[in-house]
Amino acid sequence: MNTVTPVSIIRHPKERRSKCSLTPLEGREALSFHRARLGWTFDMTGFTVLALGAPEMSEADAGRPILLLDSTWRLLPQVEACLVGEGVRRTLPAVPTAYPRISKIAEDPMGGLASVEALYLARLLIGERDDSLLSSYHWRKEFLGTLRTFGLLPSL
């Protein structure tokens, strides 16, 4: 039986579950959801922490649980403030999101994916392709097409 890498997801308290791309995945085995809040901490020691500006994630990162921070870019520092310990920071390849973002406050960085896209791509990069992660994602076909265009997913 294939093992599935555990993923811990920390949401910003203002992240609306009704709009979150990960909400359909709640209750799935190997995914644990946490809500960041004042005074709460999460020990990221031993985790692969998805972050921008780090070395790119690869199959060499398999074997460590993954930590995904679910927040708007503007509020991300508040979630990061809950983290203690030393994780291994990794970035995902800079591919455009399929999610139609509209921000009147700040521009999202290239490589700023919807949370479900980041989860899918992280698992793909460590050799755990699981298309069921995207089964409820409205922009699934567009995102998979983007991954094929960037050579990250074989053509069918």
For residue 75, being part of any structural domain is answered with yes
* 154 or 141, higher pLDDT: 141
* 102 or 96, higher pLDDT: 96
Rounded CA gap, 44 and 62, in Å?
16
For residue 156, being part of any structural domain is answered with no
Residues in the chain: 156
> What pTM does this model have?
0.88
- Whole-number pLDDT of residue 2: 66
| % the chain with pLDDT above 70 | 87
Q: Please give the mean pLDDT across all residues of the chain.
A: 87
Q: CATH no. for residue 68?
A: 3.40.1280
- Is 34 a residue whose pLDDT tops 80? yes
Rounded CA gap, 5 and 22, in Å?
17
Domain extent, residue 69, equals 7-149
For residue 2, being part of any structural domain is answered with no
Rounded CA gap, 14 and 59, in Å?
33
- Is 111 a residue whose pLDDT tops 70? no
- The predicted model gives 68-88 an average pLDDT of 90
- Is 23 a residue whose pLDDT tops 80? yes
> Letter for the amino acid at 101?
R
Task: Grade residue 98 by pLDDT with cuts at 50, 70 and 90.
Answer: confident
Task: Grade residue 1 by pLDDT with cuts at 50, 70 and 90.
Answer: very low
Structure tokens at 4: 């599935």
Rounded CA gap, 67 and 32, in Å?
10
The count of structural domains within the chain is 1
Contacts of residue 61, Cβ cutoff 8 Å, sequence gap at least 6: 48, 88, 90, 125, 126
Contact in structure between 115 and 76 (CB atoms under 8 Å): no
For residue 22, being part of any structural domain is answered with yes
Contact in structure between 117 and 147 (CB atoms under 8 Å): no
What does the radius of gyration of the chain's CA atoms come to, in whole angstroms? Answer: 15
